[in-house]
């Protein structure tokens, strides 16, 4: 394979995983250089940590959204991440409220250490205090973001919460520092945030089996929260292509270091299949993923569609139709 052919092959792979346009993927790969992986990992534990927290809060959306967890696409780089948001103003307001840190008594809400700034274009940037970690928000105007933050501030203040996101960026408060790690690092291993960070950087995985009617994720119980479960609920009649999802997820060039450890499928393949797939890290570190695939009752789907008609219009047409536009 020639250098040019290999570049375009990796760009197609990256585009499917990040939902970037092919042109964007080619440009980013050219910047990374020929020795880099198509989807780079975060270069620091702090960057992984910030991405873990964002994924943790967004993985159980407050409403039906027409893209995976309300994210249109991502542009991952070693030193940061561009996160392109999608969804209604109501959803964006919820997401801002879920991420922004506040304190009420000794109770911490949101992402500990999260601070706000913006780049020269006005795009919002989420920082992790005392670190170089950052996530830049795309797909939301500076004016709408300011409105979301102000509405959240009013709601939090009315509820007796003290906002922390405007605190100094060079250090966390004592309460934030206490909650920031989340893991006990001795038991969780050297990179406890890597899995969720890697999944967020490959948000296209969650549309690789087809557009879901509802997609939710959560951390598994136990002392080490780097285990995840995901529930893929499909419109009745859809045949989820979970094999394609698994090929992308475990791809040796661009996937994550995981292997299939267990699989149970009923009535598969078929429109009413019910499947459960378990994956574990190939390097023996803690954590893993369980994925559940099944159809949702038509009555439930119709009720959701009446409540969120705009989002379901996107779901009915399929998420993947949106990820190839030239942006």
Pairing of strands 80-85, 102-104: unpaired
pLDDT above 70 coverage of the chain, percent = 91
pTM over 0.85: yes
- Are 276 and 264 in contact by the 8 Å Cβ rule? The answer is yes
In this predicted structure, what is the pLDDT of residue 146?
Answer: 95
Residue recorded with tokens 């991502």: 74
Rounded to whole angstroms, how far apart are CA atoms 192 and 269? Answer: 35
Tens digit of pLDDT for each residue in 206-235? 999 998 999 999 988 554 556 899 999 998
Tens digit of pLDDT for each residue in 132-164? 999 999 999 999 999 999 999 999 999 999 999
In this predicted structure, what is the pLDDT of residue 238?
Answer: 84
Please give the structure tokens belonging to residue 57: 């809060």
- Are 262 and 256 in contact by the 8 Å Cβ rule? The answer is no
- End-to-end, the C-alpha distance of the chain in Å comes to 28
Task: Label residue 186 by pLDDT band (50, 70, 90).
Answer: low
Give the residue with greater pLDDT, 220 vs 170: 170
Tens digit of pLDDT for each residue in 60-86? 998 888 899 999 999 999 999 999 999
Rounded to whole angstroms, how far apart are CA atoms 81 and 47? Answer: 9
């Amino acid at each position: 394979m020639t250098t040019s052919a290999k570049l375009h092959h990796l760009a197609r792979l990256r585009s499917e995983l990040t939902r970037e346009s092919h042109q964007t993927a080619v440009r980013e790969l050219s910047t990374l250089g020929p020795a880099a992986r198509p989807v780079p990992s975060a270069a620091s534990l702090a960057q992984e940590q910030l991405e873990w927290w964002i994924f943790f809060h967004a993985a159980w959306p407050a409403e039906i959204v027409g893209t995976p967890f309300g994210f249109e696409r991502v542009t991952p780089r070693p030193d940061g991440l561009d996160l392109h948001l999608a969804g209604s103003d109501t959803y964006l307001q919820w997401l801002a409220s879920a991420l922004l840190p506040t304190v009420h008594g000794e109770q911490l809400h949101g992402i500990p250490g999260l601070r706000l700034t913006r780049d020269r274009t006005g795009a919002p940037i989420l920082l992790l205090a005392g670190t170089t970690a950052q996530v830049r928000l795309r797909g939301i105007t500076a004016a709408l973001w300011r409105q979301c933050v102000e509405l959240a501030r009013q709601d939090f203040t009315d509820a007796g919460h003290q906002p922390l996101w405007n605190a100094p960026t060079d250090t966390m408060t004592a309460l934030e520092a206490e909650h920031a790690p989340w893991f006990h690092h001795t038991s969780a291993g050297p990179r406890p945030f890597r899995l969720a960070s890697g999944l967020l950087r490959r948000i296209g995985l969650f549309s690789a089996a087809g557009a879901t009617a509802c997609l939710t994720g959560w951390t598994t119980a136990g002392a080490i929260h780097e285990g995840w479960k995901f529930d893929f609920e499909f419109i009745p009649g859809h045949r989820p292509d979970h094999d394609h999802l698994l090929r992308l997820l475990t791809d040796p060039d661009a996937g994550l270091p995981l292997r299939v450890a267990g699989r149970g499928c009923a009535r598969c393949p078929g429109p009413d299949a019910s499947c459960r797939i378990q994956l574990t890290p190939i390097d023996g570190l803690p954590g893993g993923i369980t994925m559940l695939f099944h159809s949702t009752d038509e009555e439930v789907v119709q009720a959701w569609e009446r409540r969120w008609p705009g989002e379901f219009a996107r779901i009915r047409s399929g998420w993947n139709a949106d990820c190839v536009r030239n942006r």
